[in-house]
Structure formats: C-alpha cells, structure tokens
Amino acid sequence: MATSFYPTVVPLKVSNLPFRLLKLKESFIAKFGSAPKFYVRAPGRVNLIGEHIDYCGYAVLPMAIEQDILIAVEPVKTEVVQLANTNSSYLDFSTSVNNIQINKTKPQWHNYFLCGLKGIQEHFGLNNPTGMNCLLDGTIPPSSGLSSSSALVCCAGLVTLKANGKTLSKVELAEICTKSERYIGTEGGGMDQSISFLAEEGTAKLIEFSPLRATDVRLPSGAAFVIANSCVEMNKAATSHYNIRVMECRLATKLLSKSKSLDWKKMLRLQDVQASLGVSLEEMLTIVEEVLHPEPYSTEEICKCLGISLEELRSQILSQNTQNVSTFKLYQRAKHVYSEAARVLEFKKICSEAPDNAIQLLGELMNQSFISCKEMYECSCPELDRLVDICLQSGAVGSRLTGAGWGGCTVSMVPTDKLNTFLKNVKKAYYQNDGQRLALENNGLFATKPGRGALVFVEA
C-alpha cells in the first residue's frame, strides 16, 4: 500500500536515472545554468465510466495512465518563479511568488501551474514562499480528455509543497488542487486531481466524494483498455460547454428540491437531492420524469419555478461565464447523471463479482454510457461518434468518449486476443487517410494499464 502522505520521495541513483529524466536534467542545466534538486511527476488519467457526475457528487471510476507531466525543480533564494517547457510552442513565463495573477480569459499553460502554486500558498498562508526554477516536460496530449490540465495543477501543487518543506495527506492535496483549478474558471468536481494522487499501479479506483475516498477496482484480465484520440481538441477553460452543463445540473437540483419541499437554496448537487429524500437512483429517475419536462427551460421559467428574480438567478446561482445563457436543458442532464451514477456502481459490482460474462457486461455499460453522453448530455461530436463506431466495428465490446467530451479521446474495452487486429483496423479506418491524425496516431492510439499516482524523485 502506497503511503498516504506527500511528498512521497523516491531516491534514484544517478547511474540509474531513466533516459527521460537525464534528458530533462540536461535541458534544465542548459536553460538555468544549474542542476535541478528534485523532480515531480503527476499522471494523466482515463475515466472508464462515470462522465460529468463528479461535480454532481457521484462516484466515478478512473485509472491513472502512463502519460504524465514531469517537472524538474530548483528552489532559489529570489522571490521569482521561472517556468519553461521542453515544448517550444509553450512560451517561458516568470512571475513574483508574492503576486500570483491567473488570467481566466486566456487559459495558457503557465496559468495551470499558477493554480497549483496558489492553492498550496493559500492553504498554508505562506508569507515568504520559495522562488523556483522549473522545467516542464509533458507526454499527455493537450485538450484530449486525458486530464493534462489537472495533471499540471497537481504537479505544481506537489512541486510547491516539496519546495516549501510542507507535508499533506494525499486526500488533502487532491482537495486543494481541485479547488485551486477553479481559479482558471473550470467548475470541476475532483475526479482528475483525486486519481492523480490516489492512483496505484495495477488497479483502477472507485473515487467517492464527501468525504473523498478511493477503493481498488480490479479490472478483468481478459480485456485491454484502448485510448484513441479523435484529434479534436477541447479546452474546458476556454469554452462554455462544460460550465453550462455544471449550471444545468445545479438548476435541475434546485427545481427538483423545490418540487419535493426541500430547502432548495442550500442544495447544490443532484446527489444532495437523492440523499435528502433517501431514495434509490432508480427512484430519482422516476422523479425526474414526474417533475422536469424535456423542453428547454428559459431563464424566465426557472425564475418563476423558484420564485426569484432574474438578478437573483444570476447573482446567486449562475457562474460568471454562464450569465448570458438564455435556455437550459434540465431533464436531459439530470436523467444522464442519475443513470450514469447507477452504471458506475454496476461496473464496480461486476468487477468485484467477476462473472464469466463480465467483459460483455462491462462493455454494455460503456456503450450505454456513451449513448447517454451523446443523447442526454450532448457532449459528443461527429468525430467522436465516428471513432466509437469504428472501435465497435473493429472488435471492441464497449466504447465511449472519456473526459469532458466535445472532442478528445475514446476509451474502448477490447478482448486481449483481438487487440492487435483492433489496433490495426482502427488505425486504418480513422488515422490512415488523414495527415493530421496520422501525425498524432502513435501518441493517439494505445492500450493502457492502471498506473501509479504522483511522485517526487531525487537523485540519491
């Protein structure tokens, strides 16, 4: 069992440094004129099932992947953080550690680092935080739904923790990084940060919230999980799709609560409604059918249902970047969330009980999840739809979008004896005849296994 406190430090002999670390060290010396004192790694993740429900209070089922963010760090005596990236398309950045400004209008790479840095600073009330030189190397495709942004926030949080000689539990660090990513305007729920810190090699995790906890989920041995990148980029912080869905779920929570005479002003998440009523997820789906209508709700109708003014709706409920949205789909979003929450629990149950037809059953749940994401949550896109179809035709028993959607990746469950044929067929059908996709194909189509969580490396 991995230690539950950070920083977890792994000593590495200089003669045993992996090639990537050696290369990063050389680049750091060339850039800053001195050697890094330590390295921090935070992995990306793939969510196997449970999309768009963490911010509604429901459990999700991700695993860490091999692709990661790796940062070489040298604490310095100046009050400056200097950030550089091995990818020359990401510009250098420097700022005073005592004056962290995060620009929500431009979600550039360095702003995600600043989120993690600011989160740790504020948690500890650091008056004289340590300055740092940092060089970043990332292998997670950006805006692909594999959590490159959150991995950077988590990595920066752990960098700041180590550089300032502080200690936190993994759960505390995950919760701080979840909150601090909101500095950039993303109303996330905590799955990405939680798996980045709580992941363990060889097992997926059921991540539950309030309180945050992680349970091992042993995946069936006869299947591989394959990630395929649609090559359509979607940045959660740069678009409003994601935050509109968060608000639609919040509004559905308010209307459902009001209809059941609950204290709707205190209710924020769909899970709160279920917990207050003490009913099953299936019963919540029936209540959704009874209370909400499939037609979009105007802001006027919402105000009328809740007995509030438009000004109160905007100032008390809607987020800053959803103020001008005029219609919201509440029935569809609530229906997806409650049904998806049930699928997550069923997925975990099947993995635990391991019936003979487990692979088939899990695949069916993944397919149901994708249909709900596409039709009820409307977070797919034509390229993802096509890629899922190709994956199913190529031998996957289940395939779905993973991450926020509107682009990014699919995850498919493939029987191991069909894996090579599957990879060949998907490559031919989706990547082969498109130059841009073919360029990304080596990093965009791969089988993955559950990886380990974030770590600090030092030279022994």
DSSP per-residue codes, 182-245: GGGT----SHHHHHHHH-BTTBEEEEETTTTEEEEEPPPTTEEEEEEE-S----TTTSSHHHHH
Query: Which residue, chain included where needed, has tokens 């699919």?
Result: 410
CA 281, CA 355: separation in Å to the nearest integer?
24
Nearest to 429 by CA among 230, 208, 161: 230
pTM, entire model:
0.93
CA 191, CA 7: separation in Å to the nearest integer?
20
What is the mean predicted confidence (pLDDT) over 182-193? 87
User: Could you read off the pLDDT of 265-311 as tens digits, one per residue?
Assistant: 999 999 999 999 999 999 999 999 999 999 999 999 999 999 999 99
Task: Supply the pLDDT for residue 187.
Answer: 77
User: ∠ CA(250), CA(252), CA(258), 5° rounding?
Assistant: 105
The model's confidence at residue 410, banded by pLDDT at 50, 70 and 90, is: very high
Q: How many CB atoms lie within 10 A of CB 329?
A: 21
Whether 384 and 417 have beta carbons less than 8 Å apart is answered as: no
The model's confidence at residue 246, banded by pLDDT at 50, 70 and 90, is: very high
Q: Is 192 a catalytic residue?
A: yes
With a cut of 50, say whether residue 417 has pLDDT above it: yes
What is the mean predicted confidence (pLDDT) over 254-268? 97
What is the mean predicted confidence (pLDDT) over 421-442? 80
User: Could you read off the pLDDT of 72-98 as tens digits, one per residue?
Assistant: 999 999 999 999 999 999 999 999 999
User: Could you read off the pLDDT of 169-182 as tens digits, one per residue?
Assistant: 999 999 999 999 98
With a cut of 90, say whether residue 107 has pLDDT above it: no
CA 391, CA 383: separation in Å to the nearest integer?
12
What is the mean predicted confidence (pLDDT) over 198-208? 97
The model's confidence at residue 3, banded by pLDDT at 50, 70 and 90, is: low
CA atoms within 13 A of residue 384's CA, in its CB half-sphere: 27
User: Could you read off the pLDDT of 313-372 as tens digits, one per residue?
Assistant: 999 999 888 999 999 999 999 999 999 999 999 999 999 999 999 999 999 999 999 999
With a cut of 60, say whether residue 56 has pLDDT above it: yes
The model's confidence at residue 2, banded by pLDDT at 50, 70 and 90, is: very low
Task: Supply the pLDDT for residue 1.
Answer: 39
The model's confidence at residue 36, banded by pLDDT at 50, 70 and 90, is: very high
Task: Supply the pLDDT for residue 236.
Answer: 58
User: ∠ CA(97), CA(102), CA(104), 5° rounding?
Assistant: 175
Whether 71 and 213 have beta carbons less than 8 Å apart is answered as: no
What are the structural domains, with CATH classification, of the chain? 8-219+451-459 (3.30.230.10)
Task: Supply the pLDDT for residue 388.
Answer: 98
What is the mean predicted confidence (pLDDT) over 244-257? 97
Active-site residue, selected from the candidate residues 137, 192, 216, 417: 192
CA atoms within 13 A of residue 33's CA, in its CB half-sphere: 2
Q: Check residues 442 and 383 and name the one with the higher pLDDT.
A: 383
The model's confidence at residue 215, banded by pLDDT at 50, 70 and 90, is: very high
Whether 146 and 408 have beta carbons less than 8 Å apart is answered as: yes
With a cut of 80, say whether residue 105 has pLDDT above it: no
CA 458, CA 11: separation in Å to the nearest integer?
5
Rounded mean pLDDT of the chain?
93
With a cut of 50, say whether residue 160 has pLDDT above it: yes
Q: How many CB atoms lie within 10 A of CB 34?
A: 11
Residue 309 φ/ψ, nearest 5 degrees: -85, 165
Task: Supply the pLDDT for residue 28.
Answer: 98
Task: Supply the pLDDT for residue 415.
Answer: 98
User: Could you read off the pLDDT of 219-241 as tens digits, one per residue?
Assistant: 999 999 999 999 898 765 556 88
With a cut of 70, say whether residue 257 has pLDDT above it: yes
Task: Supply the pLDDT for residue 285.
Answer: 98
CA 63, CA 367: separation in Å to the nearest integer?
19
CA 36, CA 73: separation in Å to the nearest integer?
5
What is the mean predicted confidence (pLDDT) over 151-165? 97
